[in-house]
Amino acid sequence: MTFKTWLLFLAMETALSLSPGPAVFYVVSQGVRGALRRTLPAVAGILTANGIYFALSATSLGAIIAASARFFTVAKWVGAAYLIYLGVKALRSAGSMHSVALGEEAAGNEGGLRGVYLGALTLQLANPKALLFFLALLPQFIDPAVSVVSQMLILAATSMLPELCILTAYGWLAHRAVHASVRFGVTGNMNRWLARIEGAGLLGCATLVLKFSRGN
């Protein structure tokens, strides 16, 4: 892997991390509810799933999964169903004055934090675009004449560091926006609108997931 190839991968990974998608919406929704205390477990779940994908990409199992039409279809529908569930849940919560509260009490619940982590892990593992990126596109950056393991480790670090920073920033900024609304006494309206935006965004992502095909 040349330095030029590494820079191309870094630019692509950064752009993908910045673009709104299921992972970003999930992290933002958790950041709104509990600042970094809920943002970090969500980001950890996303990155854990990415780590699993990197491991699969380094093995022949990755090629088998990428070639399996049935696995791709199942992953697509599971991912879309989970996004729809989260979207509907957010829209239903919009009717409550506390729909997107700062959530210090919930954030202190360790079981709740485990749920945040597992939800992010499930969401990313069932994301067909992430699946194809790691199992089909990622190998294109690997030079077969050089150690695959060392290249994978470099690409993993290159992928996870910017995504960690970007997703954490998304969650923190979302929480600060809600915190600012408290100061101006518009928390109730802000909470309802944030929940509606979150729900609509997640349902939109579900639609895109369902429309996604291997040719995209």
Residue 166 has a CB neighbour count (10 Å cut-off) of 20
pLDDT at 168: 94
pLDDT tens digit sequence for 83-112: 787 778 777 766 554 444 444 444 445 558
CA–CA separation, 76 and 162 (whole Å): 26
Confidence category of residue 9, pLDDT binned at 50, 70, 90: confident
Residue 173 lies in a domain: yes
- Residue range 45-51: average pLDDT? 93
Structural domain tally of the chain?
1
pLDDT at 24: 87
Residue 140 lies in a domain: yes
- Residue range 183-198: average pLDDT? 61
Q: Longest Cα pair distance anywhere in the chain, in angstroms?
A: 62
pLDDT tens digit sequence for 53-91: 888 877 766 666 666 667 667 767 776 777 787 778 777
Domain that holds residue 175: 3-14+22-211
Model pTM above 0.85: no
Residue 216 lies in a domain: no
Amino acid found at 153: L
Amino acid found at 166: I
